[in-house]
């Protein structure tokens, strides 16, 4: 039985693994599918010390190596089910693999809903973004296009107005937009287009514009996507009895990051907080500290 299993090897899970590994006494396993939001990001520009930025893939690679140096082990798997037992938890993987642990950290994150648009993915995290708090700085005073769906995209466009006045909103899915949002965009002089995007024009990840289905070309230097309906991977938390918020994010104790299920913690985009890589790091460290405290008590009583 492992002392702690971390489900999810993204930014939060890896930071927790590093912290737990440094306590030396614990047998820690990270189970990861090798996917997730951070794998799509070509460059994080807001992380302390990385003045030239770092890709999500490289950050994860370095994090895995760092965690391994402290004795943390890794398994590539997708956890399909979780149940609590009298002395911990049993997890079952996609091919029937069975894992047991005294404590759990869920760092399964979320997936942005992004339609298949030709050449969009090479630009993500390089010149097209999803988080205004993370990357609003990157569009400062630049011509920016927002690709989105209905009111979700309109709301993002209006939020970005504090960064740049040169905005175009392309309602790719042509879904309804609240009249109040339409009126606000019109009042601010934001161009609104209700037409699918056929292709992203880019060079080595740098956005040049958007080709619409009609053939019209829209020039832009930067972009944001906001389609709504993101998938929060909180299924395991729900199976274990953890309380979820109305948006399916997992509710945690603000101090310890433990969920309402005993000895189950949640960190990163899965939990209720701002969706920032740097915030995920903080969640991971705090979770690990309190998992350490719990493990000390468990071992003392066994």
* Global confidence as pTM: 0.92
pLDDT digits (tens, 9 = 90+) for 33-74: 988 888 888 889 999 999 999 999 999 999 999 999 999 999
Q: How many Å apart are CA 20 and CA 242, to the nearest integer?
A: 22
How far is CA 42 from each of CA 11, 52, 122, 197, rounded to the nearest angstrom?
14, 12, 8, 22
pLDDT of residue 295: 97
Instruction: Enumerate domains of the chain plus CATH numbers.
Output: 2-112+230-301 (3.50.50.60), 121-226 (3.50.50.60)
Q: pLDDT confidence of 114, banded at 50, 70, 90? A: very high
pLDDT of residue 250: 97
pLDDT tops 90 at residue 184? yes
Q: How many Å apart are CA 206 and CA 201, to the nearest integer?
A: 9
* Cβ proximity of 198 and 213 under 8 Å: yes
């Amino acid at each position: 039985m492992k002392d702690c299993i971390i489900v999810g090897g993204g930014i939060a899970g890896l930071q927790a693994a590093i912290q737990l590994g440094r306590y030396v006494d614990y047998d820690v396993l990270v189970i990861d599918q090798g996917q997730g939001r951070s794998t799509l990001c070509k460059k994080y520009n807001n992380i302390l010390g990385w003045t030239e930025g770092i890709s999500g893939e490289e950050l994860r690679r370095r994090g895995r190596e760092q965690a391994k140096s402290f004795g943390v082990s890794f398994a590539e798997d997708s956890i399909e089910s979780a149940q609590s037992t009298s002395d911990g938890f049993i997890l079952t993987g996609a091919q029937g693999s069975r894992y047991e642990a005294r404590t759990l950290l869920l760092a399964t994150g979320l997936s942005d809903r992004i339609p298949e648009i030709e050449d969009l993915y090479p630009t993500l995290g390089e010149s097209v973004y999803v988080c205004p708090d993370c990357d609003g700085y990157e569009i400062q005073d630049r011509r920016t296009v927002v690709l989105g769906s209905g009111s979700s995209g309109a709301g993002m466009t209006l939020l970005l107005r504090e960064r740049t006045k040169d905005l175009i909103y392309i309602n790719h899915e042509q879904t309804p937009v609240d009249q109040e949002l339409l009126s606000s965009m019109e009042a601010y002089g934001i161009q609104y287009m209700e037409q699918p995007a056929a292709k992203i024009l880019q060079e080595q990840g740098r956005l040049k514009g958007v080709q619409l289905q009609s053939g019209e070309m829209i020039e832009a230097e930067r972009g944001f996507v906001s389609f709504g309906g993101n998938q929060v991977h909180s299924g395991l938390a729900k199976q274990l009895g953890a309380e979820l918020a109305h948006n399916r994010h997992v509710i945690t104790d603000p101090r310890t990051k433990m969920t309402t299920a005993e000895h189950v913690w949640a960190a990163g985009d899965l939990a209720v907080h701002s969706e920032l890589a740097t915030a995920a790091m903080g969640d991971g460290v705090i979770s690990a500290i309190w998992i350490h405290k719990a493990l000390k008590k468990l071992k003392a009583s066994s």
